[in-house]
Amino acid sequence: MEPEADPLGFEDSDPIEPVSVRHSVDDIIIDGRIEQTYNFIDYSFESPAGQIRARAYLNSAHEVAIYPPVRLARGQAPELGEDWITREAIVRYLARRFIVIKELGLRGPETIWMANHAPRFLQHRGLALSD
């Protein structure tokens, strides 16, 4: 039996859960001085195609990027592994938490999902979609 839909349109369950969530900071130190700091949260999901990671940098906490598994074979171009059912569940999980979702492709990160209110949110903060 399926759960009854909330009349107000709230969803309180996720189609998938990460197997781990890790909050970390990477400091780039040059000549003994911190030149850059990357404060981020990594989400790890299991998939038949391999581990799928999503990363959100806290200086742009409105967006997250999905990194699919990469297969490397000697003498061949890298191949991105995809499990579309798991990927869709991950997108649904992340869409409840972020307003922009990007995914790493062979040409770099591309926006694959955006909340309806994302353009207004970004404009209000003086940001472009690519920021």
The parent domain of residue 115 ranges over 20-124
Residue 27 located in a structural domain: yes
Residue 1 located in a structural domain: no
- State yes or no: pLDDT of 78 exceeds 70: no
Q: Who has greater pLDDT, 59 or 2?
A: 59
Residue 66 located in a structural domain: yes
CA distance 55 to 65: 5
Residue 36 located in a structural domain: yes
Residue 47 located in a structural domain: yes
Q: What is the mean pLDDT of residues 7-23?
A: 86
Residue 119 located in a structural domain: yes
Q: Which amino acid is present at 41?
A: I
- Helices (H) and strands (E) counted in the chain, each on its own, are 2, 8
Of 68, 125, 61, the C-alpha closest to 99 is 61
Neighbours of 122 (CB within 10 A): 19
pTM as predicted: 0.80
- State yes or no: pLDDT of 10 exceeds 90: no
Domain tally, the chain: 1
Residue 129 located in a structural domain: no
Residue 14 contacts residue 93 (beta carbons within 8 Å):
yes
Residue 26 contacts residue 38 (beta carbons within 8 Å):
yes
